[in-house]
Amino acid sequence: MKKSISIVFLIFLMLFTAVLGGFFALTWANALPVKEKTVAEPLKSPQSENSVNEVSVVDIGKNLSKSVVGISNLKGITATSPNNSQGETGIGSGVILDSRGYIVTNFHVISGGEQIMVTLSDGNVKEAKIIGTDQRTDLALLKIEGENYEAAVLGNSDDLSVGETAIAIGNPGGLDFAGSVTMGIISGLNRPLITEEGLRFKLIQTDAAINPGNSGGALANDKGEVVAINTIKISETGFEGMGFAIPSNLVSEIVTELMDTGKVTRAALGVYLTASVNPEFNAINNVGVDHGVLISPQEGGPGALGGLEENDVITAVDGNKIHDIYELQDVIFSHEVGDVIKITVMRNGDSRSLSVTLGELKDS
């Protein structure tokens, strides 16, 4: 009997302990902070990512298009023969850079015209005055009467990176397609453009569609800032999506000078740049140095007056080594007219130093 009671008591004790333990365990669990269940966000599809970009491009197109104008280059009407038919010798785009009506466009858009007409984004047409031009960089500054125009914001073209968004706005094919917006990327930076005079300027390359009529229009970044002015595209068979634009920092520099003086002044050394010197050139011609620029001074020019002679090789300017023609051009253009520079030359196997006062580069 005692044994039976002990077994019953033991079973009762085990059940009581289990219930009591469960109660405390449940109470303890409820006292702990509850961690919310996290659900992984679905990956964004390419379509949803494009939708985000489209919203940005829509806003940029809507806002920046107010600052992009159509440029018509007219020729043929004169005061003595007003009944003559009016011919359109060029058509392109322009960008309002100042609320007072200053507009930048390409030189080739307005070249040779007798009357320049500007069509604003709201359809109003105004005659423009040419403030100044710079054929070497293919830029021109115009002005229309009035004020409080919607001016674009120039960005810093030195901050651009290959692969970032590029948005072109202009009038491809004429005013019937005014305000066209195309999108691509920045395909390359510092692309060299060699002018007919042999001068080099560096452009921005893009695959955003640039067609005839886009010249002078805006190339913007994803902030809506104008980072370049469209100027040219390669349209030869076999090439696709290779357009070029003038960097905004160069545009700002040229436009500021045109606004202030009506022209662009560049320093000149007054020499013909015959050839870039490298080890191969030296091996053949034995000029005594493996770098520099072989020159021929212009008669009566700054270089000749400073002592430069035929077949001198300029090897350094102000102590900085010169490697080729374009590097020498860049150094000279970085100076002002009237600056005195120290030039190191190799002449008949001997190195010597000369001081030259820079003159002004004249139009060809």
CB proximity list for 7: less than 8 A, separation 6 or greater:
none
Name residue 2's beta-bridge partners.
none
Residue 327 near residue 345 (C-beta atoms within 8 A):
no
* Phi and psi at residue 22, to the nearest 5°: -65, -40
Q: Catalytic annotation on 335? A: no
CA-CA distance, 34 to 220, in Å (whole number)? Answer: 50
Q: With the CA atoms of 310, 314, 315 and 318 taken in that order, what torsion angle do they form, in degrees rounded to the nearest 10?
A: 140
Q: Catalytic annotation on 108? A: yes
Q: Positive or negative CA dihedral for 102, 108, 110, 112?
A: positive
The CA distances from residue 49 to 39, 61, 100, 166, 167, in Å, are 21, 18, 39, 17, 17
Place of tokens 């010798």: 89
The CA distances from residue 300 to 166, 297, 309, 358, in Å, are 47, 8, 12, 12
Name residue 313's beta-bridge partners.
294, 346
Question: Which is catalytic among the residues 65, 108, 157, 207?
Answer: 108
Question: Which is catalytic among the residues 207, 215, 248, 291?
Answer: 215
Q: Catalytic annotation on 291? A: no
Among residues 1, 215, 208, the alpha carbon closest in space to that of 108 is found at 215
Q: Where does 42-138 show beta strands of DSSP type E?
A: 68-75, 87-98, 102-105, 115-119, 125-134
Question: Which is catalytic among the residues 67, 134, 138, 187?
Answer: 138
Place of tokens 């060809």: 364
CA-CA distance, 313 to 350, in Å (whole number)? Answer: 10
CA-CA distance, 193 to 206, in Å (whole number)? Answer: 14
Please compute Rg for the chain using Cα positions.
35
Structure tokens given for 310: 């035929």
Active-site residue set: 108, 138, 215
